[in-house]
Amino acid sequence: MKHNRGQGLIVAVHASSIIKGIIGFFLFLFFVFSLSGLMTSLKPEYRLSSTSVNNVAVNMTGEWLYHLMGSENHFFLESLPETSKPPKLTNIVFKMSTNINLDDPRSLLGRELPGFSLFDGQIIVAGEGTNYTNMPIESAPPLEVLKAEQEASLQNTEEIDEGSKNEEGGQPPLTTGGRQVVYVYFTHNRESYLPYLKGVTDPNKAYHSQINVMKIGDKLKEQLESRGIGTGIEKTDIQGNLNKKGLSYYQSYLESRPVVQAAMANNQDFEYFIDIHRDSLRKDRTTKIINGQAYAKLVFIIGANQSNYEKNAKLAKELHDLLENKYPGLSRGVFVKKEGNGKYNQDLSEKALLIEFGGVDNTFEELYRSSEALADVLSEHYWQAEKVNQGTEQPANPN
pLDDT in tens, 210-232: 999 999 999 999 999 999 999 99
pLDDT value of residue 99: 59
The CATH fold of domain 143-389: Aminopeptidase (3.40.630)
Residue 392 pLDDT more than 50?
no
pLDDT value of residue 294: 96
pLDDT value of residue 115: 53
Residue 59 pLDDT more than 60?
no
Please give the share of the chain, as a percent, with pLDDT higher than 90: 43
Question: Distance between CA 202 and CA 183 in Å, rounded?
Answer: 32
Average pLDDT over residues 359-385: 95
Residue 371 pLDDT more than 60?
yes
Enumerate the CATH 3.40.630.40 domain ranges in the chain, comma separated.
Answer: 143-389
Quick check: 368 and 164 in contact, CB under 8 A?
A: yes
Quick check: 321 and 380 in contact, CB under 8 A?
A: no
Angle, nearest 10°, between helix axes 157-164 and 364-389? 30
Closest CA relative to residue 331, chosen from 181, 191, 125: 125
Question: 224: which residues sit within 8 A by CB, 6+ positions away?
Answer: 182, 230, 231, 375, 378, 379
pLDDT value of residue 396: 44
pLDDT value of residue 117: 52
Q: Of 58 and 26, which is predicted with more confidence?
A: 26
pLDDT in tens, 114-159: 555 555 677 888 888 877 777 787 667 766 666 666 678 888 888 7
CB atoms within 10 A of CB 281: 22
Question: Distance between CA 164 and CA 72 in Å, rounded?
Answer: 63
Q: Which H or E run includes 27?
A: helix 15-41
Q: What mean pLDDT value characterizes the chain? A: 80
Q: From the centroid of its chain, how far is CA 398? A: 28
Average pLDDT over residues 263-283: 94
Where residue 395 falls among pLDDT bands split at 50, 70, 90?
Answer: very low
Q: Enter the DSSP assignment of 281.
A: S
pLDDT value of residue 37: 73
